[in-house]
Amino acid sequence: KSLDRESAPLHTLDVTASDLGSPTLSSVATVKITVQDVNDNPPIFVDSSYQVSLSEDTSAGVSLVTVSAEDADEGSNADLRFSLVDDNGYFLIDPFTGTIRLAKPLDYE
Ligand SMILES: [Ca+2]
Ligand SMILES: [Ca+2]
Ligand SMILES: [Ca+2]
């Protein structure tokens, strides 16, 4: 059946060889099977939405919120970078930490 590294990264099989003599003689060997990762899981945000409220006199550079995501794969298949989808110039996101900062002053009006 199908393998899934995320649920079972290692399988161990014991294999017996038996002869047909009398008495029957046998021995056992162990086969260890390591399942290598493929990128079959997308990153999942810890929270699906975040809400921030700030006044228009907030200084540029202030940290507003830090988003966080997890990925069940391993190695580069789980190495995440954050970016803004609709970049209107007001906000910056740190690609490594997920911290969103105000890039320039806001104007409520
Ligand atoms: Ca999998
Ligand atoms: Ca992944
Ligand atoms: Ca995987």
Residue matched to tokens 């162990």: 30
Q: Give me ligand 1 centre to Cα 32, in Å.
A: 19
- Between the CA of 37 and the centroid of ligand 2 the distance, in Å, is 10
Q: Which ligand sits closest to the CA of 41? A: 2
Q: Are 43 and 67 in contact (CB under 8 A)?
A: no
Please write the tens of the pLDDT for every residue from 70-103: 999 999 999 999 999 988 899 999 999 999 999 9
Tokens 């104007």: give the residue. Answer: 107
Task: Provide, rounded to the nearest whole percent, the portion of the chain with pLDDT above 90.
Answer: 96
Q: How far is the CA of 87 from the centre of ligand 2 (A)?
A: 24
Q: Which residues of 28-59 are buried (b: 16+ CB within 10 A; e: fewer)?
A: eeeeeeeeebeeebeeeeeeeeeeeeeeeeee
Q: Give dist(CA 16, CA 2) in Å, integer.
A: 24
Prediction pTM value: 0.80
CA distance 34 to 60: 50
Say what the pLDDT of residue 102 is.
96
